[in-house]
Structures are given as C-alpha cells and as structure tokens.
Amino acid sequence: MKRTWLTVDFDDHRHVPSAQGHPTRSTKPVLSTTLSEPYMVGLKGFERWLSSHQQPVTLFIIADLFTDVTFKGWLDNALEAFGDRLTVGCHGLTHRSWSAWPEDRDGFSKALGQATEILQHACGDRFRPWFRAPAGYIAPWMADVLAEQKYTVDSSVNPSWLVQKKAGKGNSWSDVTRAMSKAGVVERAWATRLTLPVNGPALSLFPLWLIAKGAWKKTPALLSVSTLDEAVEDPDVDLATLYWHVLDHGRNNGSWAPPLPALA
C-alpha cells in the first residue's frame, strides 16, 4: 500500500535562487545571515503545527543556518521536544543550485562533506544520510558524489515537464533517476498530479495551488515513526513524497498549515 512521507525544507529568504547560488536567477542578494522575521514566525508556526498531532516529519536543513545561534537553539529544543518524530536530512551547505552551473564534482563533494559534518555534529542520531538538492537542482553527475559520501536516499527530483531544466543541460529526469539507481541511491521523487508540481512553491502559486491542494487532501496514510526509516530507504516501498517550506508557516501571521487531511 502506498504511504506518504512528510518533509520540510528550511530555506530562509537569503538562501533561495533569487538571492544566491544560481548563475542567472540570483539578482536580489540578501546580505544578512541572521534569521529573517518571517522565518522566525515560520519556526513558531511549524512548532505549533507539530504540537497539533503525533506524526513524523523529516527536516531538510541547510548547514550554514548554524552560523546563527538562534537557529541552533531552536533546533536543539525541537529535537528534544518532539523526540524521534523528527529526523534531519541535508539540504546543502549554502543552498547552491548545483545543476544550474557546469559540472563540478569536486566543489559539490567538498560542500557536501562540510554540510554532512556540521549536520551530524548538530543533530547526532537524528541525522540521516538523505539529500535534497537546493531548489531541486539535481543532475546525474551528482549521484556518484552522494554515494561516495554514503548517502542512501536522494529526494530532489520533481518529475514534471515544467521544471525539466533543473536536471541540468541536456538531461531528463529519467537520466537523474537512472544515475541514482546505478550509484545505489534510492530516489524519492516528489509527488505530482497530472504531471504538474504540487509541492513547495506550487502550494502558493496560482493556478498550481488549486491542483496541489486537491492532491494533498487525497494523500495516502502517513508513514509511522517506527516504519519511516526502513520505508524511505527501501526502493520497493511506494511512497508519496510531500514537501513544503518552514517559511510557509510564516504565512497568515503564522497560522498557515499544510493542506493535509486531519492528522492524528
């Protein structure tokens, strides 16, 4: 039976491609490295949402967030308060859009190594060798680097024609999935509907949100805390992978919640 995996990406405004990390999209740099006001509201809203149910969630965290002590303090508290419901994966060192640039195995390898060390140190046994490419920019050449650094799962492919170019010049999404499989990395592609994106920004962009909300309301039962690790890492388990941003929780004065069916 198909199950649902809930995941949240931890980008602040300073991380996204419009601010940095992309060769053509980064035109509005954000110089401050402290957490933005909407992000702080988002963290509080996310905590409130977590307190309203008992389900597990995987957080994809950008390692450079730890330069801010406020973030480290928030995460320590959250890992303590929500126990084994929270697991942490890697969302890059600085949220660079790797596949939008020419192939750079050494650069990616170095950044991934640093990010892994920081996350392992900060999250201890909650860290998982699971990767989500910043802004979904994942190319086939990145698969070997993930495998070399003992990553078991990649969750970066948004298998929609609308964002095909994020697979890197001349590549298709199936090229990425094939490369992951060859490298022994399980690909957890994001759920789509009618071949359109329904995750992340699609939750708030008109007209995609109309389709997204309908899809989210019909999600299969969620993975439980005790089955999550095994299911995510087992390529034979069919999963619907959903993701949103912690910044989304800053919408509507912190009252935003993902459009899921009622959670127990």
Nearest residue relative to Zn ion (C-beta): 11
Site for Zn ion in 35-54 (CB under 5 A): none
Q: Where are the beta strands (DSSP E) in 153-225?
A: 153-154, 186-187, 192-193, 196-197
- Count of residues that bind Zn ion according to CB under 5 A: 2
Contacting range for Zn ion; rule: CB under 5 A; set: 1-9, 110-118, 176-184, 186-194: 1-9
Rule CB under 5 A: say whether 11 interacts with Zn ion.
yes
Return all residues near 260 (Cβ < 8 A) that are at least 6 apart.
6, 216, 217, 219, 242
Contacting range for Zn ion; rule: CB under 5 A; set: 3-11, 48-56, 76-84, 149-157: 3-11
Contact 107, 68 (CB under 8 A): no
Q: Quick one: 18 or 55, whose CB is closer to Zn ion?
A: 18
Longest dimension (CA), the chain: 47
The Cα 134–Cα 136 span in angstroms is 5
Q: Quick one: 3 or 87, whose CB is closer to Zn ion?
A: 87
Rule CB under 5 A: say whether 248 interacts with Zn ion.
no
Q: Quick one: 179 or 246, whose CB is closer to Zn ion?
A: 246
The upper half-sphere exposure of residue 233, i.e. CA atoms within 13 Å in the direction of its Cβ, equals 11
Q: Quick one: 11 or 144, whose CB is closer to Zn ion?
A: 11
Contacting range for Zn ion; rule: CB under 5 A; set: 2-10, 40-48, 165-173, 184-192: 2-10
Residue 230 CB, shortest distance to Zn ion, in Å, is 26
Q: Quick one: 11 or 187, whose CB is closer to Zn ion?
A: 11
Site for Zn ion in 147-206 (CB under 5 A): none
Pairing relationship of beta strands 192-193 and 196-197 according to DSSP bridges: antiparallel
Exposure string (b/e) for 39-53, b if CB count within 10 Å is 16 or more? Answer: bbbbbebbbebbeee
Residue 15 CB, shortest distance to Zn ion, in Å, is 6
Contacting range for Zn ion; rule: CB under 5 A; set: 11-19, 66-74, 114-122, 155-163: 11-19
Rule CB under 5 A: say whether 64 interacts with Zn ion.
no
The Cα 72–Cα 70 span in angstroms is 6
Question: In this structure, what token pair is assigned to residue 182?
Answer: 């060859």
Rule CB under 5 A: say whether 9 interacts with Zn ion.
yes
Q: Residue 241: what residue type?
A: T
Residue 91 CB, shortest distance to Zn ion, in Å, is 6
Residue 135 CB, shortest distance to Zn ion, in Å, is 5
Residue 133 CB, shortest distance to Zn ion, in Å, is 8
* SS3 call for 130: strand
Place of tokens 């619907």: 240
Place of tokens 């060769």: 23
As beta bridge partners, residue 67 has none
Contacting range for Zn ion; rule: CB under 5 A; set: 8-16, 20-28, 190-198, 210-218: 8-16
| Distances in whole angstroms, Cα of residue 48 to Cα of each of 116, 159, 181, 206, 257 | 28, 31, 38, 26, 9
Q: Quick one: 65 or 176, whose CB is closer to Zn ion?
A: 65
The contact set with Zn ion (CB under 5 A) reads 9, 11
